Amino acid sequence: MTTIDVRAGRLSQEQLALNFTDAHPALLTGNALVEANRCYFCYDAPCVDACPTSIDIPNFIRKISTGNLKGSARDILSQNIMGGMCARVCPTETLCEGACVRETQDHQPVRIGELQRYATDSFMESGETIFERAESSGKKIAVVGGGPAGLSCAHRLAVLGHQVVIFEARDKLSGLNEYGIAAYKTVNDFAQREVDFILEIGGIETRTNQRLGQDVKLDDLRQQFDAVFLSVGLGDVNSLGLESEDIAGVYDAVETIAELRQSGNLAELSVGRRVIVIGGGSTAIDIAVQSKKLGAEDVTLAYRRGPEQMSATWKEQEFAQTNGVQVKHWLAPKSLQSENGHVSGIEFECTTLNPQGKLTATGELRNMEADVVFKAIGQTLVNTLDAAAEMPETEAGKIAVNAEYETSLAGVWAGGDCISSGEDLTVHAVEHGKQAAIAINRKLS
């Protein structure tokens, strides 16, 4: 058995600062101009079709090439108010860049995400504005949840002349952008700087530490406001379904990332010597890489299927491996091993796909030592609505909505990770919020 060795301060402050610098530094002006001029400015650009928020990508890139950064930022932000964050965290390799004509031609797509960051960062740093509020509508809308969907909805509603109140359960707005994304992706407090930029439009009141079902009730909001938009996210992590899952050393990856993101001193964070991450998505990659950057000796990411089935993109998988993470496939956790009440390892069972394509256990067992195990196998909706007299209908464990993002409750819309349609990506949440705001405005008008 391994000797339990979970402690803080494995690395110096200097090494930690270096490890957690921006993983993908911004383009310099000269590089941005060169990259912009690689774009073919396609008339029927497939990259636009691949963008969930329908940004006019050729147009914003052309404006970069001519030095019109304000116009470029306008093209981006008018479609995606969180274009700065999405440029940092979107899986562009499977969205716009994956559809780029240059990708299919020579596997060298235009670096659209980096150009988007260049334009939006430059504009935000300028202190200028491109948005103005319409004449007051006299309507007031409650937005429950201050993550990407909620902020996007609130901003568009404010632009349209409505008053908005955001009710957020945590201390800060921005949702997983603030609490659930790797620190090396969003350095220099970018999530909160983007929130400040969004709120500059005016007409948006924020109330933090207001948890739905406890501090604020859906029934009350429906009576007090002209419309309600629910963007409550997913508040719980799926269980591994193993005995003794609550023993010391077994952690929720999302909670740990949040702790890291809010830490003022990384040297004070405990880190295991041998870390195992269970999962195959972006959160699994983030916690695995961050564990390595905090000083873990061995970090292994174990997934029950193959690399093609991982929700983490090929680029994220490659990033993990180049940062010292061992990625092992076709392994399903079978039991947790412990020593003096602390996790000491995991027994895995090898898996394969049968001729019908169904995941099947082979019976072959493998043991791995660990003093820290992270669960990163997806999140589930925490039901905070059960105090309401009426409940919105659900589908597959999430809130059901129609094409207009309306729930089954009159006057209540929803978007983001908590709804049953779409992928759990920041860019999709932003689009949900934008389209819901347009639908709410149409209904109230």
Domain boundary among 72, 102, 126: 126
* pLDDT classification of 221: cutoffs 50, 70, 90: very high
84, 100, 81, 104: which is closest to 92 by C-alpha? Answer: 100
Question: What total number of domains does the chain contain?
Answer: 3
- CATH label of the domain that carries residue 46: 1.10.1060.10
The per-residue pLDDT for 1 is 45
Q: Would 213 be classed as within a structural domain?
A: yes
Six token digits for residue 145 = 């949840």
- When the pLDDT of each residue in the chain is averaged and rounded to a whole number, the result is 94
Residue 368's SS3 state is strand
Q: Would 133 be classed as within a structural domain?
A: no
CA distance 25 to 28: 9
Six token digits for residue 229 = 């938009």
Please check whether residues 64 and 184 belong to one and the same domain: no
Please check whether residues 284 and 360 belong to one and the same domain: yes
Please check whether residues 12 and 58 belong to one and the same domain: no
Q: Would 30 be classed as within a structural domain?
A: no
Q: Would 181 be classed as within a structural domain?
A: yes
Range of the domain at 256: 7-20+237-375
Please check whether residues 260 and 342 belong to one and the same domain: yes
What's the whole-model pTM score?
0.94
Q: Is there a contact between 217 and 340 (Cβ–Cβ < 8 Å)?
A: no
Give, in degrees to the nearest 5, the angle at Cα 238 between 237 and 242: 125
Q: Is there a contact between 427 and 80 (Cβ–Cβ < 8 Å)?
A: yes
Q: Would 134 be classed as within a structural domain?
A: no
Q: Would 31 be classed as within a structural domain?
A: no
The per-residue pLDDT for 386 is 65
Eight-state DSSP code of residue 182: -
Please check whether residues 258 and 192 belong to one and the same domain: no
Mean pLDDT of 245-249: 92
Please check whether residues 340 and 420 belong to one and the same domain: no
pLDDT digits (tens, 9 = 90+) for 329-358: 999 999 999 999 999 999 999 999 998 889
CA distance 230 to 381: 12
Locus of tokens 């269970």: 278
Q: Would 131 be classed as within a structural domain?
A: no
Six token digits for residue 329 = 């496939």
pLDDT digits (tens, 9 = 90+) for 291-321: 999 999 999 999 999 999 999 999 999 999 9
Q: Would 132 be classed as within a structural domain?
A: no
182, 143, 122: which is closest to 429 by C-alpha? Answer: 143
Give, in degrees to the nearest 5, the angle at Cα 434 between 406 and 139: 70
CA distance 434 to 158: 11
Please check whether residues 360 and 287 belong to one and the same domain: yes
Angle, helices 190-199/112-126, rounded to nearest 10 degrees: 60
- CATH label of the domain that carries residue 299: 3.50.50.60
